[in-house]
Structure 1
Amino acid sequence: MDLGLNGKTALVLGAAGGLGSAIARTLVREGARVVLGDIDRAALDRSVSAITPQGGEAFGLEWDLANLQDINPKIEAIEAHWGPVDILVNNTGGPPPTTAFGQDPALWNKSFQNMVLSVIAITDRVLPVMRQRKWGRIITSTSSGIVAPIANLGISNALRLSLVGWSKTLAREIASDGVTANIIVPGRIATDRIKFLDEQKAKREGRAPDQVAAESTASIPMGRYGEPQEYANVVAFLASECSSYVTGSVIRVDGGLIPSI
């Protein structure tokens, strides 16, 4: 299937991590020109180095999403290099594991700026040209906690859910301009983030990480953690011409983990 991504410019945030890196590689493989944004310069360089030998077009931008003043210069650099952004993949790191109760307001504020306000501000920056050109894709990666809140991820559950309301509202506002906005929800995908969360749970409960991972795996109907590539494949579809009538949706990539309809 031709996804129609040749020559499209994509910006993938959080692109040095497991999910972001897989998404960037997949979009490049489908013919897109990809800008990888991440705060971790060394990991970002490794991700770009893994892509360019394939013959694809990619470059990295060291990007601290907490610094909203950086948004305009970063987008201007992309536009000067390849032109306007056609595809935006909003993928941010998660906050530390916490209960919902008793957290410092400063932590809530910092997490909101990193995970929510940055996403909204970057999207607002690239949307006008998408609407003018009558084509664009806004894809926002969240967490299964937006459907079934995850214990000890209180801040993540709350803030990621706010992005769902934002994206659904936005989708109606921009649909007639040929721009789509969708939420994608990972279940237990085998990334460093999931490994970290398993290790933290094991530490809290005085168990071995392998025990926690085995218990988690047993709760997944497919009987395994997902691969980052499987998640990236769905993102690539949502970024494509083929998804032109899909907007305002919440797409799960979870191996059947979330039990609700």
Structure 2
Amino acid sequence: MELGLRDKIALVAGASKGLGKAIALGLAKEGAKVAICARHKDLLETTAHEIESILGSEVLPIKADVSISKEARKFVQKAVNYWGTVHILVTNAGGPPPAYFEETTEQMWEQAFHLTLMSALNMAWEAIPYMRKQKWGRIIAMTSISVKQPIGRLMLSNSLRAAVVGWTKTLADEVAKDNILVNSVCPGYTLTQRVKVLAQNLAQEKNTQSKEIFKNWEEKIPLGRLASPEEIANLVVFLASERASYLTGNIIQVDGGYYRGLT
């Protein structure tokens, strides 16, 4: 299937590893020109060179910490200065640290607010004017299955990712007239470094081993396994494409059947 992504300008945040890297690679495979950002310059540039060596396509690495408002905005500005516009924005950032409510502090909530919610808003504020002008745009917010089924000990993530989907649902209505589509993707348990760290933390708390935590998760997933980052990326690439032209305002889980709810 031709997805119509060749020469589209795509921006993927938090893309030096994990889900962001898989998404950037997936978009580049379809011929998009991809700008990626992350906090650590060396790893970011290694990822850009890796994608370029695989596909021969240009990847623009931009060092930025999207939890800092001016850096989130500069990520978009620098990509636009280089390529002239932006068609696709994938908002993505590492999740807040695991904690129960009584373990959290006001500072932790403020940091999580900027990392999880404000990072997406700041990038979108910069990107939307270009999308409006060209009457074509895709904004895809990476959230979590926790927005549909909260996950234990992830108080910060559960709360603030819910705010992200409230924002995307409302924004989708506001920008639809300009052919800008806005959707949220909610990964379930996926084989990323963050999930491995969560497993380690849970194992310590329960005085067991990480492999037992993974086994417990797998038993709750009808497909019997965790997702690969590429399986999440496949949906994101489709939502970014011409073929998703009538999909907006959706909150879509990719979780192997983990979530049992009807909506």
Check whether TM > 0.5: yes
Quick one: distance in 2 between partners of 1:52 and 1:97?
35
What is the CA-CA distance between 1:46 and the residue it aligns to? 2.1
Do the aligned partners of 2:182 and 2:249 also contact (CA within 8 Å) in 1? yes
2:50 aligned partner? 50
1:248 paired to 2:246: no
> Identity percentage over the alignment?
38
Number of residues of Structure 1 aligned to a counterpart in Structure 2: 261
1:36 aligned partner? 36
SS in 2 for 1:11: strand
2:21 aligned partner? 21
Structure 1: give runs of 5+ residues left out of the alignment.
none
Spell out, residue by residue over 1:4-27, the C-alpha distance to the aligned partner (whole angstroms, 9 max, x if none).
Answer: 001100000010121000000010
2:173 aligned partner? 172
Do the aligned partners of 2:8 and 2:32 also contact (CA within 8 Å) in 1? yes
Letter in 1 for 2:32: A
TM superposition score normalised by structure 2: 0.97
Q: 1:207 to 1:72 in 2, by over 3 A?
A: closer
SS in 2 for 1:164: helix
After superposition, where does 1:1-261 map in structure 2 within 5 Å? Answer: 1-53=1-53, 54-261=55-262
Structure 2: give runs of 5+ residues left out of the alignment.
none
What is the CA-CA distance between 1:155 and the residue it aligns to? 0.3
Quick one: distance in 1 between partners of 2:203 and 2:72?
38
Do the aligned partners of 2:144 and 2:188 also contact (CA within 8 Å) in 1? yes
Letter in 2 for 1:73: K
Letter in 2 for 1:180: L
Do the aligned partners of 1:5 and 1:32 also contact (CA within 8 Å) in 2? yes
Quick one: distance in 1 between partners of 2:58 and 2:3?
17
CA RMSD of aligned residues (A): 1.0
What is the CA-CA distance between 1:102 and the residue it aligns to? 4.6
Do the aligned partners of 1:32 and 1:57 also contact (CA within 8 Å) in 2? no
Quick one: distance in 2 between partners of 1:259 and 1:185?
14
Do the aligned partners of 1:198 and 1:209 also contact (CA within 8 Å) in 2? yes
Spell out, residue by residue over 1:33-89, the C-alpha distance to the aligned partner (whole angstroms, 9 max, x if none).
Answer: 000111122221221121001211212111111221224433332122111111000
Spell out, residue by residue over 1:193-250, the C-alpha distance to the aligned partner (whole angstroms, 9 max, x if none).
Answer: 1111111100111001111111111111000111111110100000000001000001
